[in-house]
């Protein structure tokens, strides 16, 4: 006689409903003949017979809910002695008794009608359960075997080890089927020591272990308004802080001032080119500098620009007054080479640079950059125009190659394009001078001498030169600026340089 | 789901069991070989059904049935030979049986008594991979290793090898599989991607996962893809032979989409009636891989009813052996957990093992003598 117990047909299921018995009592079945359809939480499945034999008894009724591991059918396979009384199973599975799976009366009948049971012969059935794959087919609750001698095992056991051992106390298995739970009993314990103080109103900051709930834009608003979110009363759903809460708190904090600027200030990360500017300018400002200025009539240079624009050689090139200024600066540097020098304080030497690597301060999409034209002093006007043209094209994209940004020796900054008259720039780090061009404007200008003196309208520009006063003195700076101005006023004089 | 119209696949044997010609592919084997395939398929199906039943009896934790996919597996694995290396997913039971894995041993993983019962290197068969698609990366890596070992593109064709990796239609949605495609293409790895499109990723129909036929994805990765009637063992064998030959010769990867159908559940935990219609299942039943091979062989006279009866008897023997062997599978011993991890275990690991064994031995075993007696008796009876 074999007892077929409900297996777990899914993964980790604990019970199933008997949908339909395919066999009836007395039927002969072969191995793998379908016995019954059951329905689990996942699916309807058919259970095949593990044995050949005659259906002795259908234990579970159609429609009943059966625990995994409970017997559902007895099959007389004619081989083994009859199974041990099912009463024994019921006794070892008290939980089954609460389910209407067994009829008590037939159980009794079974005990009476089935002859008893050689202990050894039941072994094959119950032993096979030991092999079952971890589902609830075991007939008795799993319990950890008692230790032979808890203190005698392994390493010496100290107080800490004892606690750890206790936490693994083996009266309950570490792993057990999900339906095996232990009822917790009442705990009798007495208070010890002074009672804790009654809870009062905890300070908000002290309770800040739980972060205030607010959406990112609200957090941003609070930050912009300078508010600590933990100090804001929440009225939103689920205790969240809304934008209105933040504004209300801000109004309260400012004594009812309702004209709040939601963005008192905006904080933008300082990075990239702008961060580099901050660093180099701060560093450069450690150098003692002075500035000289000069207004000059650049009308002739403007006429020269117009003539050059119409020349075939300059077709397609960007010809601007800056070209003439740059060329003039190169020519003036040739006469005043200290302006194209670097001070090496560590070696107490002046490094006089052979080439003029002419930097042009450029406002690019990424911020201020100073690309330089290598060897600008060796270029003729056309070459210089081409170099400037290319530089402007590259600078517009903001993708200036690193090599263009290093080893500059002299810089021109043309703030005049923004309409200002002039300024006192800060040295490009490591250089000795920087020339600043103001805007070129039509202005009244005194020409002629003596009785011929008259006011005419000329194109006038303010030049300034900021220089490293450790290396360059006022006289040299003034001479240089005068040379530049002379060329701009009368470009023909360049032939003298 | 409507029945997809499939007319662009390689078919050499119709569902009625008639041989048909294909312009590019032909089956070069004899009817005796086809009879061998039929035997492989019948035994694999019987084994598979028995394992499914064992799960229903509570003897296996889980079983992924291969019912309906026998031709795809038997046809392709019959195109392999050493030093080819085969990378299965978890459903390639017919592949494993053909490569000599014992049917009872196959169950150990699903009964939880051992991890993988075969040694990969000996069988040319990698371990079952339960993580979806991960084995495609293993296969490509192995194939790249074969390149470096000089097992590809030799003048002597017998000296060459390739990797073949099995995966399903659902796996093609995994990143791993797509990464494997890219690596295989970039390195011209000798690997055959054998996708058994059984139409469902558990309950998700393939049409929801791919807007184009799966085999056409290969062109985007830069290697050929081909669709074959996965229920036609001859076509599968012919196409797989061609793809493996390409790989062995150093011509790179191929994607084979074996168009087939999982007649059973995804696994025994799943109820396919909830996501597909009986009509659909019936249509596919008419394309059964075994019945068409059997019809062809009977018509050609290569086999007769006696042959089939003998095969049925062999299947029955296999089923009995699997049933009885399953429940008699040896329970793993505690100390074995420490084996097969490191070749030369470090001292600390040995100490841990000894400590743990000593700890376990420290418990009373009141029930052990009885249980042992009962156990040996049940083994002696050989029955459950």
How many angstroms away from the CA of B74 is the closest CA of chain A?
A: 26
For residue B112, the chain A residues in CB contact (below 8 A) are 133-134
Give the residue among A98, A432, A397 at the shortest CA–CA distance from A273.
A397
Highest mean pLDDT among A158-162, A401-405, B185-189: B185-189
Quick one: what percent of chain B has pLDDT higher than 90?
A: 75
Decide if B155 touches A, using CB distance below 8 A. Answer: no
Phi, psi dihedrals of residue A218, rounded to the nearest 5°: -70, -40
**Range of weakest confidence among A274-278, A387-391, A477-481, A486-490:** A274-278
CA angle, corner B150, sides to B147 and B155, nearest 5? Answer: 110
> pLDDT-derived band of residue B31, with 50, 70 and 90 as boundaries?
very high
**No. of H helices and E strands in chain A?**
13, 19
Instruction: Kindly write down the DSSP assignment for every residue of A161-190, as one continuous string.
Output: HHHHHHHT-TTS-SS--TT---PPPP----
What the block records as the tokens of A163 is 């606690």
Cα-trace Rg, chain B: 22
pLDDT for residue A80 is more than 70: no
Instruction: Kindly write down the DSSP assignment for every residue of A228-250, as one continuous string.
Output: -GGGSPP-SGGGPBPHHHHHHHH
What confidence score (pLDDT) does residue B365 get?
61
What confidence score (pLDDT) does residue A140 get?
45
Cis peptide bond N-terminal to A160, omega within 30: no
**Is A43–B371 a contact, with Cβ atoms under 8 angstroms apart?**
no
Q: What is the CATH number of domain A272-496?
A: 3.30.559.10
pLDDT tens-digit profile of A433-483? Answer: 999 999 999 999 998 888 889 999 999 999 999 999 999 999 999 999 999
Q: Please state, in angstroms and rounded to a whole number, the distance separating the CA atoms of residues A18 and B268.
A: 18
Class of domain A212-267: few secondary structures
Q: Please state, in angstroms and rounded to a whole number, the distance separating the CA atoms of residues A73 and A5.
A: 7
DSSP classification of residue A214: B
pLDDT for residue A311 is more than 80: yes
Phi, psi dihedrals of residue B192, rounded to the nearest 5°: -110, 120
Burial class (CB in 10 A: 0-12, 13-18, 19+), B128: buried
Burial class (CB in 10 A: 0-12, 13-18, 19+), B70: buried
pLDDT for residue B374 is more than 60: no
What confidence score (pLDDT) does residue A473 get?
92
**Is B373–A120 a contact, with Cβ atoms under 8 angstroms apart?**
yes
Highest mean pLDDT among A276-285, B218-227, B262-271: B218-227
Element (H, E) at A89: helix A86-92
> pLDDT-derived band of residue A8, with 50, 70 and 90 as boundaries?
confident
Decide if B330 touches A, using CB distance below 8 A. Answer: no
* Whole-Å CA distances, A431 to A323, A326, A403, A483: 21, 16, 16, 20
Decide if A168 touches B, using CB distance below 8 A. Answer: no
Burial class (CB in 10 A: 0-12, 13-18, 19+), B172: buried
Highest mean pLDDT among A30-44, A173-187, A254-268, B303-317: B303-317
Contacts of A351 (CB under 8 A, 6+ apart): A341, A342, A343, A344
Choose, from A469, A471, A482, A489, the residue flagged as catalytic: A469
What confidence score (pLDDT) does residue A198 get?
74
How many angstroms away from the CA of A114 is the closest CA of chain B?
A: 20
> pLDDT-derived band of residue A360, with 50, 70 and 90 as boundaries?
very high
Quick one: what percent of chain B has pLDDT higher than 70?
A: 93
Q: What number is the average pLDDT over the span A195-218?
A: 69
Decide if A32 touches B, using CB distance below 8 A. Answer: yes
Choose, from B46, B246, B262, B292, the residue flagged as catalytic: B262
What confidence score (pLDDT) does residue A201 get?
60
Quick one: what percent of chain A has pLDDT higher than 90?
A: 32
What confidence score (pLDDT) does residue B122 get?
85
CB-CB contact of A246 with A219 (8 Å)? no
What confidence score (pLDDT) does residue A262 get?
58
Q: Please state, in angstroms and rounded to a whole number, the distance separating the CA atoms of residues B102 and B85.
A: 18
Element (H, E) at A107: helix A104-113
pLDDT for residue B20 is more than 70: yes
CB-CB contact of A53 with A78 (8 Å)? yes
Give the residue among A120, A278, A40, A210 at the shortest CA–CA distance from B56.
A40
Is CATH 2.40.50.100 the classification given to domain A2-131?
Answer: yes
CB-CB contact of B143 with B247 (8 Å)? yes
**Is B271–A44 a contact, with Cβ atoms under 8 angstroms apart?**
yes
- Residue to test with chain B: of A123, A135, A144, A154, most B Cβ within 10 A: A123
Highest mean pLDDT among A249-253, A261-265, B378-382: A249-253
Of residues A205 and A339, the one with the higher pLDDT is A339
| Domains in chain A: boundaries | 2-131, 212-267, 272-496
Residue of B nearest to A37 (CA): B56
Decide if B53 touches A, using CB distance below 8 A. Answer: yes
pLDDT tens-digit profile of B241-268? Answer: 999 999 999 999 999 999 999 999 999 8
CA angle, corner A261, sides to A256 and A267, nearest 5? Answer: 135
Of residues B125 and A251, the one with the higher pLDDT is B125
What confidence score (pLDDT) does residue A260 get?
65
Decide if B332 touches A, using CB distance below 8 A. Answer: no
What confidence score (pLDDT) does residue A164 get?
59
Q: Please state, in angstroms and rounded to a whole number, the distance separating the CA atoms of residues A471 and A432.
A: 7
> pLDDT-derived band of residue A128, with 50, 70 and 90 as boundaries?
very low
A469 is catalytic: yes
Three-state SS sequence of chain B = CCCCCCCCCECCECCCCCECCCCCCCCCCCHHHHHHHHHHHHHHHHHHHHHHHHHHCCCCCCCCCCCCCHHHHHHHHCCCCCCCEEECCCCCHHHHHHCCCCCCHHHHHHHCCCCCCCCHHHHCECCCCCCCCHHHHHHHHHHHHHHHCCCCCCCCHHHCCCEEEEEECHHHHCHHHHHHHHHHHHCCCCEEEEEEECCEECCEEHHHCCCCCHHHHHHHHCCCEEEEECCCHHHHHHHHHHHHHHHHCCCCCEEEEEECCCCCCCCCCCCHHHCCCHHHHHHHHCCCHHHHHHHHHHHHCCCCHHHHHHHHHHHHHHHHHHHHHHHCCCCCCHHHHHCCCCCCCCHHHHHHHHHHHHHHHCECCCCHHHHHHHHHHHHHHCCC
State the residue for tokens 């001498």.
Answer: A449
**Range of weakest confidence among A99-108, B19-28, B302-311:** A99-108
- Nearest residue, CB atoms, B373 vs list A31, A123, A153: A123
**Range of weakest confidence among A245-254, A283-292, A314-323, B232-241:** A245-254
**Is A43–B383 a contact, with Cβ atoms under 8 angstroms apart?**
no
Q: Please state, in angstroms and rounded to a whole number, the distance separating the CA atoms of residues B187 and B185.
A: 6
Give the residue among B56, B31, B41 at the shortest CA–CA distance from B260.
B41
Interface subset of A 106-125, CB within 8 angstroms of B: 120, 122-125
pLDDT tens-digit profile of B301-326? Answer: 999 999 999 999 999 999 999 999 99
Residues A25, A31, A33, A35: what is their CA dihedral angle, to the nearest 10 degrees?
40
pLDDT tens-digit profile of A25-53? Answer: 999 999 889 999 988 777 788 899 998 99
CA atoms within 13 A on the CB side of B331: 15
**Is B56–A120 a contact, with Cβ atoms under 8 angstroms apart?**
no
Q: Cα B237 to chain center, whole Å? A: 15
CA atoms within 13 A on the CB side of A448: 8
Decide if B378 touches A, using CB distance below 8 A. Answer: yes
Helix pair angle (B31-56, B70-77), 10° resolution: 130
Phi, psi dihedrals of residue B360, rounded to the nearest 5°: -65, -35
Q: What number is the average pLDDT over the span B325-347?
A: 85
What confidence score (pLDDT) does residue B38 get?
97
Q: What number is the average pLDDT over the span A353-368?
A: 88
Cα-trace Rg, chain A: 49
For residue B365, the chain A residues in CB contact (below 8 A) are 145
Q: Tell me what ipTM this predicted complex has.
A: 0.70
Decide if A104 touches B, using CB distance below 8 A. Answer: no
For residue A43, the chain B residues in CB contact (below 8 A) are 265, 269-271, 273-274
Of residues A45 and A125, the one with the higher pLDDT is A45
pLDDT for residue A136 is more than 60: no
**Is A50–B62 a contact, with Cβ atoms under 8 angstroms apart?**
no
Element (H, E) at A454: strand A454-468
How many angstroms away from the CA of B373 is the closest CA of chain A?
A: 8
pLDDT for residue B373 is more than 50: no
**Is A11–B55 a contact, with Cβ atoms under 8 angstroms apart?**
no
What confidence score (pLDDT) does residue A43 get?
76
CA angle, corner A324, sides to A323 and A326, nearest 5? Answer: 65
What confidence score (pLDDT) does residue A170 get?
56
What confidence score (pLDDT) does residue A475 get?
94
Give the residue among B281, B288, B285, B287 at the shortest CA–CA distance from B1.
B281
What the block records as the tokens of A169 is 């106390």
Q: How far apart are the first and last CA of chain A?
A: 123
State the residue for tokens 């399953």.
Answer: B326
Inter-chain CB pairs, A–B, below 8 Å: 119
B142 is catalytic: no
pLDDT tens-digit profile of B118-162? Answer: 888 888 999 999 999 999 999 999 999 999 999 999 999 899 999
Mind listing the domains of chain B with CATH numbers?
31-327 (3.40.50.970), 334-381 (no CATH)
Q: Please state, in angstroms and rounded to a whole number, the distance separating the CA atoms of residues B165 and B192.
A: 6
Residues B43, B47, B48, B51: what is their CA dihedral angle, to the nearest 10 degrees?
180
Decide if B211 touches A, using CB distance below 8 A. Answer: no
What confidence score (pLDDT) does residue A110 get?
40
Q: Please state, in angstroms and rounded to a whole number, the distance separating the CA atoms of residues A339 and A478.
A: 11
What confidence score (pLDDT) does residue B26 get?
94
Q: Please state, in angstroms and rounded to a whole number, the distance separating the CA atoms of residues B133 and B170.
A: 9
Q: What number is the average pLDDT over the span A240-255?
A: 86
Decide if B371 touches A, using CB distance below 8 A. Answer: yes
């Amino acid at each position: 006689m074999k007892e077929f117990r409900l297996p777990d047909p899914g993964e980790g299921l604990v019970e199933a409903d008997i949908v339909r018995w395919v066999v009836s009592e007395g039927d002969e079945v072969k191995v793998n003949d379908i016995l019954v359809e059951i329905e689990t939480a996942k699916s309807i499945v058919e259970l095949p017979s593990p044995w050949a034999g005659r259906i002795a008894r259908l234990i579970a009724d159609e429609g009943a809910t059966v625990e995994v591991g409970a017997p559902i059918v007895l099959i007389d396979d004619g081989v083994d002695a009859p199974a041990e009384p099912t009463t024994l199973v019921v006794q070892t599975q008290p939980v089954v008794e609460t389910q209407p799976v067994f009829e008590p009366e037939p159980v009794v009948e079974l005990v009476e009608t089935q002859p008893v049971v050689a202990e050894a012969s039941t072994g094959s059935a119950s032993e096979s359960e030991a092999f079952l794959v971890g589902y609830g087919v075991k007939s008795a609750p799993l319990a950890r075997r008692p230790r032979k001698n808890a203190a005698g095992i392994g390493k010496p056991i100290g107080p800490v080890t004892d606690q750890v051992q206790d936490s693994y106390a083996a009266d309950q298995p570490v792993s057990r089927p999900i339906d095996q739970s232990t009822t917790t009993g009442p705990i009798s314990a007495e208070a010890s020591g002074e009672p804790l103080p009654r809870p009062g109103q905890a300070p908000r900051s002290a309770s800040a272990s739980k972060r205030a709930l607010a959406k990112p834009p609200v957090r941003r608003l609070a930050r912009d308004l300078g508010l600590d979110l933990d100090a804001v009363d929440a009225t939103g759903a689920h205790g969240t802080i809304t934008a209105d809460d933040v504004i209300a708190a801000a109004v309260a904090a400012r004594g009812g001032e309702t004209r709040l600027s939601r963005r008192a200030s905006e904080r933008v990360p300082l990075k990239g080119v702008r961060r580099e500017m901050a660093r180099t300018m701060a560093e450069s400002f450690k150098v003692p500098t002075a500035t000289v200025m000069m207004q000059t009539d650049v009308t002739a240079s403007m006429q020269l620009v117009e003539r050059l624009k119409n020349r075939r050689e300059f077709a397609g090139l960007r010809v601007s007054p800056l070209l003439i200024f740059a060329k003039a600066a190169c020519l003036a540097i040739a006469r005043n080479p200290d302006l194209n020098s670097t001070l090496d304080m560590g070696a107490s030497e002046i490094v006089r640079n052979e080439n003029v690597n002419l930097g042009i301060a450029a406002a690019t999409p990424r911020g201020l950059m100073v690309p330089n034209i290598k060897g600008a002093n060796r270029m003729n006007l056309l070459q210089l125009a081409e170099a400037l043209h290319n530089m402007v094209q590259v600078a517009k994209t903001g993708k200036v190659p690193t090599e263009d940004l290093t080893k500059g020796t002299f810089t021109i900054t043309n703030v005049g394009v923004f309409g200002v008259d002039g300024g006192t720039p800060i040295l490009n780090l490591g250089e000795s001078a920087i020339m600043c061009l103001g805007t070129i404007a039509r202005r009244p200008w005194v020409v002629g001498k003596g009785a011929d003196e008259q006011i005419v309208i000329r194109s006038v520009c303010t030049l300034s030169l900021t220089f490293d006063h450790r290396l360059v003195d006022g006289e040299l700076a003034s001479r240089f600026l005068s040379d530049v101005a002379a060329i701009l006023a009368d470009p023909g004089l360049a032939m003298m340089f | 789901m409507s029945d997809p119209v499939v007319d662009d696949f390689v078919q050499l044997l119709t569902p009625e069991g008639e041989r048909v010609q294909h312009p590019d592919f032909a089956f070069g084997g004899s009817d005796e070989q086809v009879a061998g395939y039929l035997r492989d398929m019948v035994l694999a199906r019987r084994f598979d059904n028995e394992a499914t039943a064992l799960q229903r009896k509570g003897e296996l934790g889980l079983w992924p049935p291969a019912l309906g996919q026998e031709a795809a597996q038997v046809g392709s694995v019959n195109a392999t030979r050493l030093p080819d290396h085969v990378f299965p997913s978890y459903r390639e039971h017919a592949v494993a049986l053909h490569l000599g894995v014992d049917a009872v041993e196959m169950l150990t993983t699903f009964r939880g008594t051992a991890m993988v019962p075969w040694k990969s290197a000996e069988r040319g068969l990698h371990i079952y991979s339960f993580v979806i698609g991960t084995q495609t990366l293993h296969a490509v890596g192995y194939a790249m290793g074969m390149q470096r070992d000089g097992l590809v593109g030799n003048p002597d064709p017998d000296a060459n090898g390739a990797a073949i990796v099995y995966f399903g239609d659902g796996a093609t949605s995994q990143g791993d599989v797509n990464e494997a495609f890219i690596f295989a293409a970039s390195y011209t790895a000798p690997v055959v991607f054998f996708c058994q499109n059984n139409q469902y990723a558990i309950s998700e129909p393939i049409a929801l996962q791919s807007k184009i036929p799966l085999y056409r994805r290969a062109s985007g990765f830069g290697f050929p893809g081909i669709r074959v009637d996965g229920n036609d063992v001859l076509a599968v064998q012919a196409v797989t032979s061609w793809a493996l030959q390409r790989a062995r010769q150093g011509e790179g990867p191929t994607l084979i989409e074996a168009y087939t159908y999982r007649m059973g559940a995804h696994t025994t935990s799943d109820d396919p009636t909830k996501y597909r219609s009986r009509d659909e299942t019936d249509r596919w039943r008419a394309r059964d891989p075994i019945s068409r091979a059997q019809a062809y062989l009977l018509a050609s006279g290569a086999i007769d009813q006696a042959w089939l009866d003998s095969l049925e008897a062999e299947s029955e023997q296999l089923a009995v052996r699997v049933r009885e062997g399953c429940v008699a599978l040896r329970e793993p011993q505690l100390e074995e957990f420490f084996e097969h991890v490191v070749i030369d275990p470090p001292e600390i690991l040995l100490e841990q093992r000894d400590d743990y064994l000593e700890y376990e031995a420290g418990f009373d075993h009141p029930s052990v003598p009885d249980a042992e007696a009962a156990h040996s008796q049940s083994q002696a009876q050989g029955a459950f």
